[in-house]
Amino acid sequence: MTSQRIVARMLRVVLFLLCCTPVMAETPKDIVQKADQLMRANSSTSELSMTVIKPDWSRTMTMKVWAVEPDYALVLVTSPAKDKGTVTLKRQKEVWNWIPAVQRVIKIPPSMMLQPWMGSDFTNDDLVRESSIVVDYDHSIIAEEQYAGYDCYKIQMIPKPEAGVVWGKIITWIAKESYLQLKEDFYDEEDVLMRSMVGSKVQEMGGRTIPTHWEMTPLDKPNQKTVMEYLAIEFNPPIDTSFFSEQNMKRVR
């Protein structure tokens, strides 16, 4: 057998083995992590509007957000005038609010992380993302189904015993091909559905295709919800962690 034939046969064997080797399937945690990374990246800056809708009133705020994942975030309210300049800062496991009207920095104790942020249906924990859906939960695929026109994995997330999170479980719908996280249902420890968050208006922003419109609806409060809309976002900008300081809370614009 000539050397050329030997080489050709070896190549065929290698190709056969490569084709027959099973590809390692993604785990449910991998899927959740990719969906989470799609929206968060390593760092980001964004501009948002947030409308709080209640049975007898509503109001809209705009804000800027700087983040370096997973430990740093700063949220600056830019309107309306009454709330302008209010800042929420997360630095690792600690959270502060700067209230310009009274010229005070207030540290948020862990017991208040689940309190409403600026009167909305989002909590302090939601805004600064103290808990992690990747790290603090065990994940399992409980179904594959269509949601909002996308073929999705329906993934159940159960908190780890040591996580210390409030939810008894979270169920999320993530698009199979694009890893868009389209819906999250939050259950209490008695397995009662308490609130639902839905993402829509999928479009390109900041070089990525993401849901740009989010609605958080508390199931125990009829005719109430909070709508958060991305106006602009930049992924992976250079942000030094020194930006996230108590001193900078008072001067950021």
Q: Are 61 and 84 in contact (CB under 8 A)?
A: no
pLDDT value of position 206: 96
pLDDT value of position 6: 52
Determine, yes or no, domain membership for 215.
yes
pLDDT in tens, 121-133: 998 877 666 568 8
Of residues 196 and 123, more confidence is placed in 196
pLDDT in tens, 16-69: 444 444 445 799 999 999 999 999 889 999 999 999 999 999 999 999 999 998
Determine, yes or no, domain membership for 2.
no
Euclidean distance between CA atoms 236 and 155, whole angstroms: 27
* Residue numbers of the domain that contains 164: 11-15+22-249
Determine, yes or no, domain membership for 65.
yes
Determine, yes or no, domain membership for 125.
yes
Structural domain count, the chain: 1
Determine, yes or no, domain membership for 192.
yes
pLDDT in tens, 80-133: 999 999 999 999 878 899 999 999 999 998 788 788 988 999 988 776 665 688
pLDDT in tens, 59-74: 999 999 999 988 899 9
Count of alpha carbons within 13 angstroms of residue 33, beta-carbon side = 12
What mean pLDDT, rounded, does the chain reach?
89
pLDDT value of position 40: 87
pTM: 0.84
pLDDT value of position 133: 87
pLDDT value of position 9: 58
- Cα–Cα nearest to 199, from 171, 179, 180, 220: 180
Determine, yes or no, domain membership for 93.
yes
165 pLDDT band (50/70/90 cuts)?
confident
Determine, yes or no, domain membership for 5.
no
CATH of the domain at 69: 2.50.20.10
Determine, yes or no, domain membership for 3.
no
